[in-house]
Amino acid sequence: MRVLFVNEVCGTGSTGKITCGLAEKYEREGHEVRVAYGRSSFVPEKYKRFAVRIGSMKDVYIHAIMTRLTDKHGFYSGHATRNFIAWANDYNPDILWLHNIHGYYVNIEMLFQWIKSQPQMRVYWTLHDCWSFTGHCAYFTMAGCEKWKTHCHECPQRNTYPASLIDNSMRNYDDKRRIFTGVKDMTIITPSEWLAGLVKQSFLGEYPVEVRHNTIDTEIFRPTPSDFREKYNLMGKIIVLGVASIWEKRKGLEDFVRLSGMLDPEKFAVILVGLTPELSRQTRQQTGNIITIPRTNSPQDLAKIYTASDVFFLPSYEENYPTVSLEAQACGTPVIAYDSGGNSETLSDSRSRLVKAGDVEAVKEIVERWKP
C-alpha cells in the first residue's frame, strides 16, 4: 500500500515530527511512504528518504507576499502544486493523509480538485489548528470571535498569521467551505477533544471526526542527565522553562517576562528555548532574569534541558494539544499550564497544575512553593 502525507514541514517542528512519526509507523508495517512538504528546505537526515518537496523557497516567498497583499492565503503556488499533482498521480497513493496545508506552499483549490478526482483514495486530514474552517485566522480564542460558526466577515485578526493588508475573510470563508466539503471518503482527525468540538460546529462537521492524541518518542524524551546546570551556572536554583518553535503573543512570551520580574533571581532562573536573535535581544532588554537559548532541532538536547528544569510553564492562550507539555512530563518535569484550548488534556503528571489564562500571579505562587 502506498501512503502519502502532506505537511508544511518534514521532520521539524511539532507537526513535522508528528507527520514523520506516522510515516515511520506505516513504513514498519511494510508500506511505501512519502511525505510531501514545502515550507522549509531543511529535512533531518533520517527523514530524507520520505521527503518530496513541493515547490521551492522562492515559491514560498511569492505566496507569502501575495497573501500579505490580497489576504488569499492558500490560493497561490499554482505552478508548484501542478507539478506536485503530476508527481502524485504517478505515485498513485492508496491513502492520502493531510496535516497542515497552510504555510505558503500549496494551492488548496488545485489540491482538493485533485483529491475529489480520486474517489478510490482514502483521505485523512489531521487539523493542528482552526485555519481550515475560518476566513483567515488559525486561532480565535484571544479575539473572542465566533463568526466562523456562521460566516466570517470584517476579520478582527487580519494582522495575525497569515497576515494581510486587507480583509478578504468573507470570500475566503465561502471558498474554503466550497473547496473543503464534498470529499467522498475523508475523516477529520484532531489531537484534542477541544478542537474536535469546534470542528463539529463548523462546515467541516459533515465529516466523521476522530480524536487521536499526539504522541512523542519516549525513547528520546525521558529523564536525561547532563551538565546543563553547570554550563549555565544554575546550581541550587529552581529553573522555570518555556519552549516554543515560534514565540508569538498567543504563546505567552509577555507573561514569561512578567513572571521573571516577579521571581527572586537569587533563587529562580527562567529559561526560554526557541527565541529568534531579535526576540532574545528584546527580551533581555525588558528583563535581565531570562536566559534565552536558540531553537534546537536536536530532540536529545531538548530532553536534557527538560530534565534539568524543575517546572515547565506553558502560558499559551491558544493551543491545540501541545507536544512540549508531553515532552516535559516524559522527562520528569511537571507542567503549569493555562486552562485554554487542549492544554488540560496533556497533563498526566500528578504534580502538574492548571491556572486561569493570564493569571501570572497564580503561577508565581505555585512556583515559589515548589519543592525541587
Better pLDDT: 280 or 30:
30
Q: How many CB atoms within 10 Å of residue 106?
A: 30
**Average pLDDT, stretch 5-29?**
95
pLDDT score recorded for residue 288: 67
Sheet bearing 51-53, strands edge to edge: 51-53, 32-37, 2-6, 95-98, 122-126, 186-190, 209-211
Instruction: Name the percent of the chain lying above pLDDT 90.
Output: 87
**Average pLDDT, stretch 86-112?**
98
Q: Residue 360 pLDDT more than 70? A: yes
Q: Report whether 175 contacts 151 (CB < 8 A).
A: no
- Residue 190: pLDDT band with limits 50, 70, 90: very high
**Arithmetic mean of pLDDT over the chain:** 94
pLDDT score recorded for residue 297: 78
- Gap between the Cα atoms of 122 and 114, Å rounded: 13
pLDDT score recorded for residue 38: 95
Q: Report whether 355 contacts 366 (CB < 8 A).
A: yes
The pairing of strands 51-53 and 95-98 is unpaired
- Gap between the Cα atoms of 272 and 284, Å rounded: 11
**Average pLDDT, stretch 228-244?**
94
Cα torsion angle, 364, 216, 248, 355, sign: negative
The residues, ordered by sequence, that sit 6+ positions from 14 with a Cβ below 8 Å of its Cβ are 128, 214, 245, 322, 323, 324
For residue 129, which amino acid is it? D
| Maximum CA extent, the chain | 64
Please state the three-class secondary structure of the chain as a single string: CEEEEECCCCCCHHHHHHHHHHHHHHHHCCCEEEEEECCCCCCCHHHCCCEEECCCHHHHHHHHHHHHHHCCCCCCCHHHHHHHHHHHHHHCCCEEEECCCCCCCCCHHHHHHHHHCCCCCEEEEECCCCHHHCCCCCCCCCCCCCHHHCCCCCCCCCCCCCCCCCCCHHHHHHHHHHHHCCCCCEEEEECCHHHHHHHHHCHHHHCCEEECCCCCCCCCCCCCCCCHHHHCCCCCCEEEEEECCCCCHHHCHHHHHHHHHHCCCCCEEEEEECCCHHHHHHHHHHCCCEEEECCCCCHHHHHHHHHHCCEEEECCCCCCCCHHHHHHHHCCCCEEEECCCCHHHHCCCCCCEEECCCCHHHHHHHHHCCCC
- Gap between the Cα atoms of 226 and 352, Å rounded: 23
Q: Residue 285 pLDDT more than 70? A: no
- Residue 226: pLDDT band with limits 50, 70, 90: very high
Domains of the chain: 2-211 (3.40.50.2000), 228-368 (3.40.50.2000)
- Residue 160: pLDDT band with limits 50, 70, 90: very high
- Residue 372: pLDDT band with limits 50, 70, 90: low
The pairing of strands 2-6 and 32-37 is parallel
Q: Report whether 372 contacts 332 (CB < 8 A).
A: no
Which three three-digit cell numbers place residue 314?
506553558
**Average pLDDT, stretch 44-52?**
96
Q: Report whether 169 contacts 101 (CB < 8 A).
A: no
Measured in residues, the chain has a length of: 372
Geometric angle at alpha carbon 193, from 191 and 195, rounded to 5°: 70
Place of cell 466562523: 148
Q: Residue 249 pLDDT more than 90? A: no
